[in-house]
Amino acid sequence: MPSSPASERLNLLGLTRPALEAYVRELGSEPFRARQLARWIYKRGEARIEQMTDLAKDFRAALAERAQVRAPAIIEVQLSRDGTRKWKLEADGTQAFEMVFIPEDDRGTLCISTQVGCALDCSFCATAQQGFNRNLTTAEIVGQVWLAGRELAAAGAVARLGEPQEADRPPASRAVTNVVLMGMGEPLANLRQVVPALTILLDDFGFDLSRRRVTLSTSGLVPQIYRLAEEVNVALAVSLHAPDDALRNELVPINRKHPIAELLEACWHYLDEQNGRSVTFEYVMLQDVNDSLAQARRLARLLAGHPAKVNLIPFNPFPGARYRRSPEERILRFRDELIGRGLIATVRRTRGEDIDAACGQLAGRVIDRTTVRLGSKAFGVVVQA
């Protein structure tokens, strides 16, 4: 019997282990087949069901008729001078989103997207200027990690099997060792799809990543931080960018709805619930806006006595941006002021700037925009909790 058209077949990418087990039972097979299937999909990166040779032949035939493994289609690939790779991926017709791989000596970090565009309107971010189209599905979120693994293997960016590894590193056959949800979109505005994606990244039968190697970055959707604390344990990064509400209202408009004190309370709750080590606070360095020593001192007082790290991010310009990057010497003085006051502070190295792949530069292609204003009734429709 011929397979159903691709558009009608279930995409197995994005199904958690319990969902795979339920689907396998629907096909009349035993739950252990779901674990075999997960290994083929997530460990081996196999898309061809007929090649999953330890599955029973009749089960493979039934599966191929009704299901498929389908990642987002690649529109364009760009390679930076520093080795950073950026993929533009197809969403729907004219819509596109982006992911970025950043290779380093001791790790390979994949920055993935969770939405087509973004509705949060942060004033220093290129994604926000694109508007918002829709949330990505779990399959599209997980599919980025799956696709990157295959692409990097084909490009020869994979370690040899059998090489010694750190205790918590993924298998040596994988180039992607860390995943950060810091691409296009606000992950917590798409919680319904993001939580199962995170579950698959952490699952022994999924990508088997350590919770310390998966980071979710949020602009500060406070109710969703509390929800996340009940659902899954990953590293938490928060886009702070200002030491006071007046400035943060301007830079990160969600602050008008959830001010800094409320946001920090949610962060400390998340650590308590998940036994986390610390929260990383991201702080983009904008010349003559948020980079004075007085502001560094206010930031240090704000976070004093709490398990916090500060990651200072040199601003990455984009067309139409009204900000300038703080000079390097001012960034280093800001960092040293924080360190001198007892905080852990680092400066993020800018990567992929020549291909617009640096932090805050991902724009994708958002043609059909949804107009949303924070604090209005319309805002609620883009938050899938």
Q: For residue 267, which of 252, 280, 284 has the smallest C-alpha distance?
A: 280
Is the pTM higher than 0.85? The answer reads: yes
Q: For residue 214, which of 187, 252, 241 has the smallest C-alpha distance?
A: 187
Helix or strand run (H / E) with residue 225: helix 222-231
Mean pLDDT of the chain: 86
Residue 3 pLDDT greater than 60, yes or no: no
Place 106 in a pLDDT band, splitting at 50, 70 and 90. Answer: confident
DSSP, residue by residue, 154-198: HTT-SPPTT----TTPPPTT-S--EEEE-SSS-GGGGHHHHHHHH
Report CA-CA distances (Å) from 102 to 177, 353, 359, 375.
Answer: 10, 12, 11, 35
pLDDT for the residue 132:
82
Tens digit of each residue's pLDDT (9 = 90 or more) over 264-294: 999 999 999 998 889 999 999 999 999 999 9
Catalytic residues: 98, 359
Helix or strand run (H / E) with residue 222: helix 222-231
Report the DSSP beta bridge partners of residue 331: none
Half-sphere exposure of 22 (CA within 13 A, CB side): 5
Q: For residue 288, which of 330, 260, 347 has the smallest C-alpha distance?
A: 330
The Cα 18–Cα 165 span in angstroms is 30
Domains and CATH numbers, the chain: 6-68 (1.10.150.530), 74-374 (3.20.20.70)
Number of residues in the chain? 385
**Residue scoring higher pLDDT (370 or 28):** 28
Place 318 in a pLDDT band, splitting at 50, 70 and 90. Answer: confident
